[in-house]
Amino acid sequence: MSNGMFWCRLVAIFLGMVPPALFAAEGPQVYSGMLGKMAIVMELNLSDPEQVTGRYFYRKHHHDLALEGRLQGQQLSLVEGRDQYDDVPRPELRLQRSPQGWQGEWVGPQGKRLAVTLTQPTIEEPPAGAEPFWYRLYDASPYEFLRLKKLPLTSGKRQEFMGHELQWWTEPVSGLTMFEVLSGYPQAQLDSINQQLRARLREEVIDYHACKLGVGGRGGEFLQTVQPRLLSADVVSLSIFTSYDCGGAHPDFGDAPLTLDVRSGKPLGLEDLLWVGDGPAFHYHETRERKPDEDSVSFDVFSQYRNRYLAPWLVEQWRRIAPEMLPEPADDFECTYADPDMWDFPSWYLNEDGIVFDPIFPRVARACEGTEWSVLPYAVVKKHPGRLRLALPD
């Protein structure tokens, strides 16, 4: 970023308004405007004029519609929808650059025409005191920021769990849910825990819309089950299991649990709780943007530890805990739980009994996942403490 752009952004932040072009001058550009009588928000990637891609949503409905096309000089031709449906006529957008953005028309398959006007909006910065999630999203994706800030959560049932009162919330467009913790911790801890839980729900909503975009608005599936697993003095742990069909060769599923440090409200990595390597334990926790936390080690260091130490050690634990699940020779057994490669990067969460691990198998053997026996008791965990000295159940 040039010094001029840097100072422009500082001034804009001071005023509380940032033009989206300053977010990512070479990345996707965000526009808002009208398609006929309907307000829309559009994102366009114009970096390759021969293969322009984008998406837009109606502010009333919030669902993405895919765009692809070509930029020739000042003329932009876009087709709505995915090319896997070439046998079905698709709407077109025929746009021309204007001083403010784009203008032109939307043409339906039956010839219906609607005027289109688009400008680059000035997007208000999150208000003072907003949760960190909103600042991250504001910087990372103005398009998603404009969508999510208009999607308030609706309250649902209340539930008692392990001596804590939980309040469930739903994002109504996606139908995804998450709980908040209302009692059992000091208020400052409740606030930090619930900020993380709300952020995770909204991140899942972003994933939901990305999934629906992948199938071009036709069918698809994104079903999710959230279950609290452990609320202890130092740890909040939950599983987030998703079954999805986003337009790939096959549907898929998986658990992406979340475990939080009650004291700091930050997500925990497994090495914060369990360490079986040489030297001091490190922290590694990947963010939703596939980047490690600021205090994390590199992925190479993390991967070497998992390959060399953790995975073989876990296999030895399972030989003691559930020997019938690791028969010899392993080649005669469909699910090769004795293979350390299946335990390099398992999903995991905590419950009353211990750390619950789930192996990662290739797609052809995904039925081998969802193990119920691979629970490492706390008596074993406490003999191999991680980076943080957290109080775990007996």
DSSP string, 55-124: EEEETTT--EEEEEEEEETTEEEEEES-GGGTTS---EEEEEE-SSEEEEEEE-TTS-EEEEEEE-PPEE
- Pick from 80-89, 184-193, 357-366: least confident: 80-89
- Give alpha helix (H) positions in the chain: 3-15, 132-140, 142-148, 187-214, 270-273, 299-305, 311-321, 378-381
Contact 220, 210 (CB under 8 A): no
Count CA atoms within 13 Å of residue 384 on its CB side. 19
* Percent above pLDDT 70 for the chain: 87
Cα angle 216, 220, 226 (rounded to 5 degrees) comes to 130
Answer whether residue 145 shows pLDDT above 80: yes
Neighbours of 75 (CB within 10 A): 12
pLDDT at 247: 78
Would you say how long the chain is, in residues? 394
pTM confidence score: 0.88
Q: Go through the domains of the chain in sequence order and give each one's CATH number.
A: 3-124 (2.40.128), 132-381 (no CATH)
Neighbours of 194 (CB within 10 A): 21
Distance, CA of 270 to CA of 285 (rounded, Å): 8
243-282 per-position pLDDT tens digit: 999 877 778 899 999 999 999 999 999 999 999 999 999 9
Contact 247, 214 (CB under 8 A): yes
Distance, CA of 302 to CA of 285 (rounded, Å): 10
Question: Which of 261, 224, 290, 257 is closest to 357 using CA atoms?
Answer: 257
Average predicted confidence (pLDDT) for the chain: 89
Distance, CA of 272 to CA of 65 (rounded, Å): 42
Answer whether residue 362 shows pLDDT above 70: yes
Answer whether residue 295 shows pLDDT above 80: no
12-26 per-position pLDDT tens digit: 333 333 333 333 346
Distance, CA of 362 to CA of 342 (rounded, Å): 9
Amino acid found at 350: L
Tokens 């033009």 appear where? 19
Give the dihedral sign, CA 170/171/174/178.
negative
Bridge partner list, 101: 119
Pairing of strands 101-107, 113-119: antiparallel
Distance, CA of 27 to CA of 33 (rounded, Å): 20
191-221 per-position pLDDT tens digit: 999 999 999 999 999 999 999 998 765 667 8
Contact 261, 342 (CB under 8 A): no
Q: What are phi and psi of 104, to 5 degrees?
A: 165, -135
Answer whether residue 303 shows pLDDT above 80: yes
DSSP 8-class letter at 286: B
